[in-house]
Amino acid sequence: MMNDEYWVILVLLAIYLSECIYFPPVQASLFQISTWRNWSVLVPPSPATAWYRLVVESPFPQLGVALLAEPAPPLLSPSGVYYSAGPPAAQVLHHLNFADAEPFRAIEASIVSGAIATSANASSPISVYRTATAQHAEDFSSLFARIQASDVSKREALITNAFRKLLSTRRPTSRWKAYRKACAFLFPVSWALFGSLVALLAMLWTFRFPFLIVWPLSIFAVSLIPHTAYVFYRIHRMFYKQNATERRKQMILLFLTPPACIRVSYLLARELFAGSHSLAVARVVLDEAASRDFTARTLRELTYPLNPGPANSQSEDLAWATNKWKSAVWEWTEQEFGNPRRLLKPPKRTTPDCIRYCPRCLAQYVLAKEACSDCSGVALQRF
């Protein structure tokens, strides 16, 4: 028969492993660190296939593992905002005029217009933008309210400023620096706690009932918890001053489930870049070549959208809104990497037989096909 300590350790291990599983928001770009300490980016899956998303993180304590970055803003023009609705595989773009729109509200990581329906025949709220973080939803819903309340002539400036802020690397750069400095305090404690957990398990596995060794080690591990919680509190208050409720909740969790203390720097990292677009985060977190590749990919996706539809069916307003975000990204790329056209260059031929390529996904074709088989509606180009 196994004794109680054995079960306690097994439960702690189970809690720890369950904390390595993370369900990030579907629409967020995610920055992950590998065991070899290289950062990489995971872009959101296609909305047509993904209702949820699951990330399994490495069980070893490392500095910050999954960072969230914001998706592109919705198409915005001085007259209103465009939103997609309908089943995931067949989304249709609708326009919501600021003049007739119900007030905008943030509900967790999304922005809706209109109140929650109280009776069956009342219309339900329209979801206009799904963000990566609740903080960004809050900020953008107040931007929408400001646009709605302002004169039409002042709206363009508000939109331009919001886009520039979303793409700015100033804030993510300084937060990233501060985070890395702050987490240096948590790093040794995380490893000490992780080492204790592994040592306890190994001892119980090998010797079964080594009370004399298990108890001092457990007391050592437990004594690190208040220190970790205190450092967590200080750092959390530095980065997320407004989120006092969230802070209290996490503090209680640290005491109730001590293995969470090992991954405390992860909890602090998640929303570090709330309000920053994935391009800006990539520029700060990834190395030069990787962030350049990611920018090139984003530019190609913006320049060659899926199912663009006939040009004459697009209204002038929609074209304005599409161009507004595109030119903000173009301008940002120019500032960070020089001429954006250089990022849109054709790929090197993989074999001399390749005669066409897809300008969006860079797949190469030996047949004279018209459209890419992976990117619906994107016309192939000749080499």
The least CB distance from residue 53 to Zn ion, in Å, is 23
The least CB distance from residue 303 to Zn ion, in Å, is 13
Determine how many CB atoms are found less than 10 A away from the CB of residue 193: 25
Nearer to Zn ion, 10 or 371 (CB): 371
The least CB distance from residue 302 to Zn ion, in Å, is 14
What is d(CA 253, CA 145) in angstroms, rounded to the nearest whole number? 36
Paired residues of 110 in beta bridges:
107, 130
The least CB distance from residue 378 to Zn ion, in Å, is 5
The least CB distance from residue 358 to Zn ion, in Å, is 3
All residues at 6 or more sequence positions from 202 whose CB lies less than 8 Å from its CB, including other chains: none
Nearer to Zn ion, 321 or 380 (CB): 380
Nearer to Zn ion, 14 or 306 (CB): 306
Nearer to Zn ion, 108 or 374 (CB): 374
**Residues within the interface to Zn ion (CB under 5 A):** 358, 360-361, 363, 372, 374-375
3 state SS for 321-374: HHHHHHHHHHHHHHHHHCCHHHHHCCCCCCCCCCCEECCCCCCEECCCCCECCC
All residues at 6 or more sequence positions from 8 whose CB lies less than 8 Å from its CB, including other chains: none
Instruction: State in Å, rounded, how far the first CA of the chain is from the last one.
Output: 72
3-state SS assignment for residue 78: coil
Paired residues of 105 in beta bridges:
112
The least CB distance from residue 267 to Zn ion, in Å, is 38
Measured between alpha carbons, how far is residue 128 from residues 43, 82, 108, 155, 171 in Å? 20, 7, 13, 18, 26
- Are 116 and 103 in contact by the 8 Å Cβ rule? The answer is no
Instruction: Name the phi and psi angles at 292, rounded to 5.
Output: -65, -45
What is d(CA 96, CA 91) in angstroms, rounded to the nearest whole number? 15
The least CB distance from residue 381 to Zn ion, in Å, is 11
Nearer to Zn ion, 191 or 365 (CB): 365
- Are 191 and 173 in contact by the 8 Å Cβ rule? The answer is no
Nearer to Zn ion, 20 or 363 (CB): 363
The least CB distance from residue 299 to Zn ion, in Å, is 15
